[in-house]
Amino acid sequence: MNYDWSWTVFVDLSSNGVDTYLYTLLMGVGWTLALSLSAGVISLFFGSIVAVLRTAPSVWLHFIGTVYVEIFRNIPLLVQMFLWYFVLPEVLPKDWGDALKQMGQPWGQFIPAVLCLSFYGTARLAETLRAGIQSLPRGQGQAGTAMGLTPLQVYRYVIMPQAYRIVIPPLTSEFMGIVKYSSVALTIGLLELTGQARAMQEFSFHIFEAFSAATAGYLAINGCVVMAMHYLERHFALPGRIGWKARMKLSGSAS
Amino acid sequence: MIEFNNVSKWYGEFQVLDNCTTHVSKGEVVVVCGPSGSGKSTLIKTVNALEPFEKGTVWVNGISVGDAKTDLPKLRARAGMVFQHFELFPHLSVTENLCMGQIKVLKRNPEEAKAKAHALLDRVGLLAHKDKHPGMLSGGQQQRVAIARALSMDPMVMLFDEPTSALDPEMVNEVLDVMSDLAREGMTMMVVTHEMGFARRVADRVIFMDGGKIIEDCATSEFFDNADARSERTRLFLSKILQH
Ligand SMILES: Nc1ncnc2c1ncn2[C@@H]1O[C@H](COP(=O)(O)OP(=O)(O)OP(=O)(O)O)[C@@H](O)[C@H]1O
Ligand SMILES: [Mg+2]
């Protein structure tokens, strides 16, 4: 193979003639982080609400939750990305649509991408959380209800604090998934990490270096996700339950 | 205090409660027994509307449970319930378990709630464990905490659904002792249990259920000592349960 390896390519000037590739790649990391973090937080919030709807005793609430999840979980993410980017501005009232189209780089791409990943993430996190809620003994909800808590208070103070703890491991995979899915935003022109790596490859022909850098970037981001979630898992571990021993070992006190 | 009038409930075709009529007076202790699946849990859970029913009425202190206008959370706050599997909230400390209802439902201020919680823990002999989580306590201790939690709401009636049947034998008595004390202090209680020794000592009346029907409803001494007047079904049940 005739390939001219050169790690110094990162300090060469990029296509904009001002910044180095290292800088544009780091900008890409920044957008990937911004996109994943926004989508993750929004998905967790709305995913919790949809999970509650899915487990509510009311047939109607349950139906609404189910329809939402099935729609957004079953359409390919790439198609959803195109719908948010190309179709949404056309179906909105004209001045809203025009405003979206005129926003330009990068917000014109960032906002549809956040919407897309959040709607999709909400459906996925709702399913994860629903499994957590349903794994709790039925008596927990009854005990809360029996002491006079309203249904919302039962979710708020009894069910959800336990459900979040239970789903931390699958939630970790979901958050890592959001980081990985964020690369789909490249298709609508957002220069997140994959987008920047591709731009670098196209301009410099250093495809291996470019995607080695992208790989390292994703590994680093998801490594942080894993560590943060491990920390949360230990921090919120309950006495006498799984994870408690690890927490005790870490903090050095005996139980 | 509690009045059941012709209460019936169905799960589809299956009738769980069949025209149940009985009452619990103020200060009375009523034990409900019967074979598994006879509807005991369902009957006591109609009192705090954990189980809705299709026919009949249940009155608690003059309030109709089945009435759509009844403020159920308010009614439930006055009826303490103790479950077979304790159902303490594992993510909260023992004290927090006792404060939750007081603060969120009764709107007591946290200081007051905590003082009350500690007084009740002292009363069930668990003040030393006030800061532990339920997962670190034995079954008997957890059930005593659960009783204290129910008492923290100053209930006018206490409902117990097989409070000792998930416990190791050596822990049964510590829970029954707390319940006996409560009864002695005049608490109105409805207790689903198979502890016939407890029923004989503490109960004023015994209800025997089978197939969703109330088969026997009589004074404790009558229930245990006048075997000839009992139905065949009751005698069979008692002979099985009193063997050991
Ligand atoms: N959600 C439900 N759907 C259908 N049937 C139910 C449901 N819940 C309870 N049942 C049935 O109703 C009957 C009465 O139940 P219940 O729990 O009141 O009995 P129990 O006397 O408390 O029995 P146990 O001693 O086992 O607790 C049982 O036959 C049970 O199978
Ligand atoms: Mg039962």
Position A1 scores a pLDDT of 63
CA distance B180 to B191: 11
Mean pLDDT of chain B, nearest integer:
93
Is residue A238 less than 8 Å (CB to CB) from chain B? Answer: yes
Instruction: Tell me the chain A residues in contact with residue B89 when contact means C-beta distances shorter than 8 Å.
Output: 140, 143-144, 157-158, 162
> Does the Cβ of B212 fall within 6 Å of ligand 1?
no
What's the whole-number mean pLDDT along residues B211-220? 93
pLDDT tens for residues A119-140?
A: 999 999 999 999 999 999 999 9
Angle, vertex CA B207, rays to CA B203 and CA B211, nearest 5: 150
What's the whole-number mean pLDDT along residues B74-91? 95
Q: Which of B85, B105, B149 sits opposite A149 (nearest CB)?
A: B105
By alpha-carbon position, which residue is closest to atom 7 of ligand 1?
A: B11
Position A245 scores a pLDDT of 60
pLDDT tens for residues B140-165?
A: 999 999 999 999 999 999 999 999 99
Predicted confidence (pLDDT) at residue B244 exceeds the cutoff of 80:
no
Instruction: List B residues 48-87 in contact with A (Cβ-Cβ < 8 A).
Output: 48, 50, 73-77, 79-81, 83-85, 87
Per cent of chain B over pLDDT 70 is 99
Position A62 scores a pLDDT of 95
Distances, alpha carbon A56 to alpha carbons A45, A151, A154, A187, in Å: 17, 9, 11, 38
What's the whole-number mean pLDDT along residues A172-193? 95
Tokens for B219, please give them. Answer: 């004074």
pTM score, whole prediction: 0.90
pLDDT band at A4 (very low <50, low <70, confident <90, very high): confident
pLDDT tens for residues B27-81?
A: 999 999 999 999 999 999 999 999 999 999 999 999 999 888 999 999 999 999 9
What's the whole-number mean pLDDT along residues A144-148? 95
Position A11 scores a pLDDT of 84
Position A100 scores a pLDDT of 85
Q: Are B164 and B136 in contact (CB under 8 A)?
A: no
Burial class (CB in 10 A: 0-12, 13-18, 19+), A180: middle
3-state SS track over chain B = CEEEEEEEEEECCEEEEEEEEEEECCCCEEEEECCCCCCHHHHHHHHCCCCCCCEEEEEECCEECCCCCCCHHHHHHCEEEECCCCCCCCCCCHHHHHHHHHHHCCCCCHHHHHHHHHHHHHHCCCHHHCCCCHHHCCHHHHHHHHHHHHHCCCCCEEEEECCCCCCCHHHHHHHHHHHHHHHHCCCCEEEECCCHHHHHHHCCEEEEEECCEEEEEEEHHHHHHCHHHCCHHHHHHHHHHHCC
Give the strand pairing for B189-192 and B157-161: parallel
Tokens for B44, please give them. Answer: 């006591």
What's the whole-number mean pLDDT along residues B221-228? 87
What's the whole-number mean pLDDT along residues B180-199? 94
What's the whole-number mean pLDDT along residues B113-133? 95
pLDDT tens for residues A13-30?
A: 888 888 898 999 999 999
Instruction: Tell me the chain B residues in contact with residue A139 when contact means C-beta distances shorter than 8 Å.
Output: 83-85, 87
Which residues on adjacent β-strands are paired with residue B192? Answer: B32, B161
CA distance A5 to A22: 16
Q: Are B221 and B204 in contact (CB under 8 A)?
A: no
Q: Which atom of ligand 1 is nearest to the CA of B192?
A: 22
pLDDT band at A255 (very low <50, low <70, confident <90, very high): very low
Position B146 scores a pLDDT of 96
Position A69 scores a pLDDT of 96
Q: What is the DSSP letter of A10?
A: G
Position A14 scores a pLDDT of 84
CA distance A120 to A140: 30
Domain spanning A22-254: CATH 1.10.3720.10: yes
Which residues on adjacent β-strands are paired with residue B190? Answer: B30, B159
> Does the Cβ of B193 fall within 6 Å of ligand 1?
no
Position B154 scores a pLDDT of 95
Tokens for B138, please give them. Answer: 């034995």
CA distance A94 to B170: 75
Position A242 scores a pLDDT of 58
Give B77 to chain A, closest Cα distance, Å: 4
Predicted confidence (pLDDT) at residue A252 exceeds the cutoff of 60:
no
Predicted confidence (pLDDT) at residue B183 exceeds the cutoff of 60:
yes
